[in-house]
Structure 1
Amino acid sequence: MALPLSSSILPLLSVTLFIGILTFIYYKLLRNYLHKWFVMKPIPEVAPTYLFVGNALQLKTNAGEFFRQVSEFTQDFRNAPLIKLWLGPQAFVILFHAENVEVIVSSSVHITKSELYDFLHPWLGTGLLTSTGQKWRQRRRMLTPTFHFSILTEFLEVMNEQAEILVENLQKQAGKGRFNCFNHITLCALDIICETAMGKKVYAQSDSDSKYVKSVYKMTEIISRRQRMPWFWPALIYYYFGEGKEHDKTLHVLHSFTYKVIHERAETMSSIESDNENEDGSKKRRAFLDMLLQTTDEDGNPMSHQDIQEEVDTFMFEGHDTTAAAMNWAVHLIGSHPEVQKKVHEELHEVMGKSVRPFTVDDLKKLKYLECVIKEALRLFPSVPFFARVLLQDCQINGFKVPKGVNVLIVPYALHRDPRYFPEPEEFRPERFLSENSVGRPPYAYIPFSAGPRNCIGQRFAMMEEKVVLASILRNFTVESCQTREELIPVGDLILRPENGIWIKLEKNSV
């Protein structure tokens, strides 16, 4: 007996439809890819580029070597307005001139982060760093008041306390020869961010083996490695052949910790609101998390616990490693330039005298030369070595057409070395940032905290923390660097850090 026509032809129609859909998708993707390929032909390329593969096989997967490659590209093409690079099927243009960077960074249209940031989504969700469009705009409006200077000053007590613990730990190293200070300073930054962000002490400076502490570092390494390996971008391949399982295991530790803290804090919020004083009459400290639990949108709706977790995780990621790296680079540079260190010591003595009291907001305002030192350290070694946006529409950059969908890679490390605005760019000269020496410098020639609509919301917090910690170190010690600039070997992970740490000697100050 013959089968009904429908039962014999349906499987064939299903297969034909499936193949048709795949062909259509492939055709759309291929057409889009080839369109970018031919439109971008006139833009100088970093190396011979191969169809579909791009430059992926020519790029190093090691973080340090990859960063050095990108640095060499920008040096080799210093006179070119922009250069292109293909990472597998993804097209990038690299910008390192202020006038070209301004086109993208100042735009209210090109605010969408590159797809490379998608690998942060499992950890950070779509918080302030990774979201775009209406969600980003709404979240930025909601969070901006929590970073008001008057609120940041409440965190100063925590910064002073943790800096004091750091000094106590460094006292044990003083006069005993060279040692690596990188972890000491980084753990101090982690203690500061945990207490100010979550109201939770993790005692990282006394317990560096903490599971949460280790997981923060591990996750940044895992994400950075995946970003540089296009063959691991598809989830299926990553979980079968890459670090997918290790990624999820680490993620579980991070999310479990912040989830628990948020829910515990939410349960105690009512008592915090009704009783703002401790038993001794002092004011109870607020954390960033407390403010998030009280934040509402334009319609009066509070943030969900998921929304709050996104922002707490983002603040932990952005506000810890970046600041720690900046302070470490600054310590090396200060220890390498005795004349700079002498000026910082003189300024500290002028502001603080022989006092050992904690720093106040007024004290920090007076440390103007130290601020120049921090800014110059961030010029030479910006904490975020590069960041990327994706174009939402065709764009003209310095006479070149860059089509919609292309990723724009902005390289502050190269931008900050433009000799037009920073003569002898490799020299460490804090005086560059005195107000009289900054006149006429384009605002987009120096962007350690990004710029434009998506500038770093926490930059004042970062500057305050760096001033407190560095001033605390230099009030107590004289620093001598034990590495040359060439021995540092910057590694461009998610954060710019030295490959072999920061090795110094400390001597206690006589006064």
Structure 2
Amino acid sequence: MELPWMFFGLSPTTVLLIGIVLVLCYLYSTWNFSTFKKMGIPGPPPWPIIGNMQSSKGIQHKEQEWIKEYGKVFGTYEGRQPVINFADPEICKQITVKHFSSFVNRRVLPLNGKPMNSGLTVLVDDQWKRARNTLTPAFSGAKMRMMAPLINQCANELVANMETYCKEEKVAQCKDLYGGFVVDSIASAGFGLDVSSQSQPGHPFVENAKLAFKFSLFSPVFVVVFFFPFLVPLLNLFDVQLFPKKVLDYFVGVTEDAIEMRKPGRDSSNRIDFLQLMVNAHEVYDQHMANKDKEIDEDEGENKVDFVKDGPSSQVKLQKGFTKDEMLAQSLLFFLAGYETTSTLMSFVSYSLATNPEVQNKLHSEIDDIMSDSDDDDDIGYETLKKMTYLDMVVTETLRMYPPAIRFDRECNEDVNISGVSIPKGMIVAVSIYAIHHDPEIYPEPEKFIPERFTKEEKEKRHPYAWIPFGAGPRNCIGMRFALMEAKIGLVRVLQKFTFEPCAETEIPPKLGKLGFLTPPNGIKLSVKRR
């Protein structure tokens, strides 16, 4: 009688080798699965290889189920990587502020392709502090005031496009309309570039930004990084990155052209914006490299700054400035992350107004009242925005319901105890933004859109870390102020003339992304009417 393997043309030796490989893969993938049992932390049972990274509902909804079953502190496995999850505002404060020195760094994917391995989100320790302090001045209140007119110019085209959709009674795909506006705004205010993508359908700027965020859990890069990390050196050998090479090459080219325009003698060299700050820092780097063999006095040739932001103070040396790779990495992050998060925010605000007409009417009234007393005509100044308190409540409530990312994480760099939980060095901890924002104990009826949750009086009743769409502490989103100003200017300019309504193609409720970002896969489709 033939043995079963003979039907597949396999020899007994081959079958034995396959069996050994499968057993080794199983042992490798489950080796850490006793971590939380030893620590006394509850959590869902993991599956071999994939851990707890399986859910047809979306990670955000799965987390909510786990919180109901295991509490606001629970352990999960991403592949074989153990992660402690927290869904508590006070623990968020402990991790991001009080014990910030124990959680300075974000989790870094083990891909080292250039230039993205020099980005602000993946830099660690003093490298990150140096870069953060160099870039922070680009997002000061004074810079925002200077950038507001540039964003208003980009909003002119947005309003014109809305007018076309209104006249032709076409369904507006908000993500696309706002995406072009956001790209133009970032290019103009941050880099001094006139992209004009809104008047050119299919502009490569927008198309490449879209490609950057087409993630799949089953893409080769994700499969290797999360499920078979021992194969990552092969990815690094072939310079494989998280973002497609085509996308990186395009934005690297755009940034290099913009940098070339900033050389001495060019018209743009006197601009003080995001790119110019990096160019200045790069000149410091060049100067350092030219003098690296010379003896430098301890107090000369160095630009020291105090790093103080919701946490401990430390002296950070900026002697080496920015390398070219660092300049390119920060630029790419500004383009890509800024496009995705801000266009998604504006889309969700428009959806929330369309499905809550009483809120839209109230916001229209506020805009009309404040603009009637403004000297800015149609343009929205930075100071004018600050007067629009109801607009701020609408945007804030939208970010509560639909935060761009469902959580953020940190890597523990020393053994520490947080609220009774002993966290060992090397452990990854994650703060569940979406779960905190939808906690009925913090926000009653969390699925309802209620801007009045964010009146001054209501905010004072809640924990200050119960609203964290941009992260928290010194390592929060550096572009938060710019993103909010950009979104608000675009929205106000549109709402001055138009109103949003649901249409037959509007998904109610909207379908949300499932892999960590809530970007609606089908976009937000609405009807636009003249007021």
Same fold (TM over 0.5): yes
1:328 aligns with 2:347: yes
Tell me what 1:290 maps to.
Answer: 276
Moved over 6 A (4+): 29-32, 239-246
Deviation at 1:187, TM superposition (A): 1.3
Say if 2:490 is the partner of 1:499: no
Aligned twin of 1:366: 387
Q: Report how far residue 304 of structure 1 moved.
A: 3.0
Corresponding letter in the other structure for 1:340: V
Alpha-carbon offset, residue 494 of structure 1: 5.9
Aligned to 1:349: 368
Question: Could you say what secondary structure the match of 1:506 adopts?
Answer: strand
Specify which of 193, 199, 205 is matched with residue 186 of structure 2: 193
Alpha-carbon distance in 2 for matches of 1:435, 1:473: 26
2:116 to 111, 124, 128: 124
User: Helix, strand or coil: the match of 2:120?
Assistant: coil
1:44 counterpart = 2:42: yes
Do the aligned partners of residues 437 and 92 (structure 1) sit closer, same or farther apart at CA in structure 2, a change above 3 Å counting? Answer: same
| 1:250 maps to 2:247 | yes
Secondary structure of the residue aligned to 1:39 is: helix
Encode CA deviations 1:105-132: one digit per residue, 9 max, x unaligned.
Answer: 222320211134x458645332322211
Counterpart of 2:71, as a letter, is A
For the residue of structure 1 that corresponds to 2:445, the secondary structure is coil
1:476 maps to 497
Aligned twin of 1:18: none
- CA drift of 1:305 comes to 2.5
- Candidates 175, 185, 208, aligned match of 1:215: 208
Write the distance in 2 (CA, Å) between the matches of 1:223 and 1:133.
30
Of 77, 94, 98, the residue aligned with 1:86 is 77
* Cα 1:441/1:453, change in 2 over 3 Å: same
The answer on whether the counterparts of 1:188 and 1:205 sit within 8 Å (CA) in structure 2 is: yes
Q: Which residue of 1 aligns with 2:328?
A: 309
Q: What is the CA–CA distance in structure 2 between the aligned matches of 1:395 and 1:361, rounded to whole Å?
A: 42
| Whole-angstrom CA distance in 2 between matches of 1:461 and 1:242 | 32
Q: Is the 8 A contact 2:29 2:79 kept in 1?
A: no
Residue 424 of structure 1 deviates from its aligned partner by 1.1
| SS of equivalent to 1:445 | coil
Q: What are structure 1's unaligned runs of at least 5 residues?
A: 1-28, 277-284
Q: Secondary structure at the match of 2:262?
A: helix
User: Deviations 1:369-412 (Å, cap 9, x if unpaired)?
Assistant: 00110000000001122222121123334433332222212221
Per the alignment, in what secondary structure is the counterpart of residue 389 of structure 1?
strand
- Determine if contact 2:82/2:428 at 8 Å carries over to the other structure: yes
- Cα deviation per residue 1:467-500 (whole Å; 9 max; x = unaligned)? 1011011101011133777541110456421121
Report the CA distance shift for 1:245/1:37 in structure 2 as closer, same or farther (over 3 A).
closer
* Match runs of 1:107-506 below 5 Å: 107-116=100-109, 118-119=110-111, 122=114, 124-174=116-166, 176-222=169-215, 225=219, 226-227=221-222, 230-231=226-227, 233=229, 234-235=231-232, 247-262=244-259, 264-268=260-264, 271-272=267-268, 286-295=272-281, 297-298=303-304, 302-353=321-372, 356-482=377-503, 486-493=508-515, 495-506=517-528
3-state SS of paired residue (1:218) = helix
Determine the C-alpha separation between the residues in 2 that align with 1:115 and 1:288.
24
Question: What is the alpha-carbon distance in structure 2 between the residues aligned to residue 95 and residue 380 of structure 1?
Answer: 18
**Deviations along 1:411-430, whole A, 9 cap, x unmatched?**
21111112222111111111
In structure 1, the residue corresponding to 2:331 is in which secondary structure?
Answer: helix
Q: In 2, are the aligned partners of 1:330 and 1:374 still within 8 Å (CA)?
A: yes
Please give the alpha-carbon distance, in whole angstroms, between the structure 2 residues aligned to 1:384 and 1:85.
18
| Counterpart secondary structure, 2:105 | coil
| 2:276 alignment partner AA | D
For residue 86 of structure 2, what is the aligned residue in structure 1? 95
One-letter amino acid of the structure 1 residue matched with residue 121 of structure 2: L
Kept in 2: contact 1:333–1:428 (CA 8 A)? yes
TM-score normalised to structure 2 length: 0.79
Please give the alpha-carbon distance, in whole angstroms, between the structure 2 residues aligned to 1:246 and 1:452: 27
Q: Which amino acid aligns with 2:104?
A: I
Moved more, 176-185 or 158-167: 176-185
Aligned to 1:21: none
TM-score by length of 1: 0.81
> Offset of 1:85 from its aligned partner?
1.2
Q: Structure 2: which amino acid aligns with 1:448?
A: P
Could you tell me whether the CA contact under 8 Å between 2:87 and 2:433 is conserved in 1? yes
Which residue of 2 is the match for residue 281 of structure 1?
Answer: none
Is the Cα–Cα contact under 8 Å of residues 46 and 77 in structure 2 kept in the other structure? yes
Tell me the SS of whatever aligns to 1:202. Answer: coil
Answer whether contact 1:119 1:223 (CA < 8 A) is retained. Answer: no
Is the contact made by 1:289 and 1:312 (CA closer than 8 Å) also made in structure 2? yes
Q: Name which of structure 1's ranges 398-407 and 309-318 shifts more when overlaid on structure 2.
A: 398-407
Q: How many angstroms apart in 2 are the aligned matches of 1:416 and 1:120? A: 34
Answer whether contact 2:499 2:530 (CA < 8 A) is retained: yes
Q: Over aligned residue pairs, what C-alpha RMSD do you find? A: 3.2
Secondary structure (helix, strand or coil) at the match of 1:259 reads helix
Distance in 2 separating the partners of 1:317 and 1:200: 16
Residue 75 of structure 1 pairs with residue 30 of structure 2? no
Aligned residues of 1:94 and 1:410 also touching (Cα < 8 A)? yes
Shift in CA distance, 402/156, structure 1 to aligned 2, threshold 3 Å = same
* Contact 2:354 2:360 (C-alpha < 8 Å) held by counterparts: yes
1: CA distance, partners of 2:472 / 2:223: 25
Q: Give me the whole-angstrom Cα distance separating, in 1, the residues matched to 2:242 and 2:119.
A: 24
1:424 & 1:337 partners in 2: Cα distance?
A: 15
Alpha-carbon distance in 1 for matches of 2:242, 2:351: 37
The 1:308–1:470 alpha-carbon spacing in structure 2 relative to 1, beyond 3 Å, is same
Report if aligned partners of 2:186, 2:335 keep a CA contact under 8 Å in 1.
yes
Can you list the C-alpha shifts for 1:131-184, whole angstroms capped at 9, x where unaligned?
110111122222222221101211111210111101101111115153322101
- Asked whether the 8 Å contact 1:74–1:96 carries over to 2, the reply is no
Find the aligned partners of 1:454 and 1:182 in 2 and give their Cα distance.
28
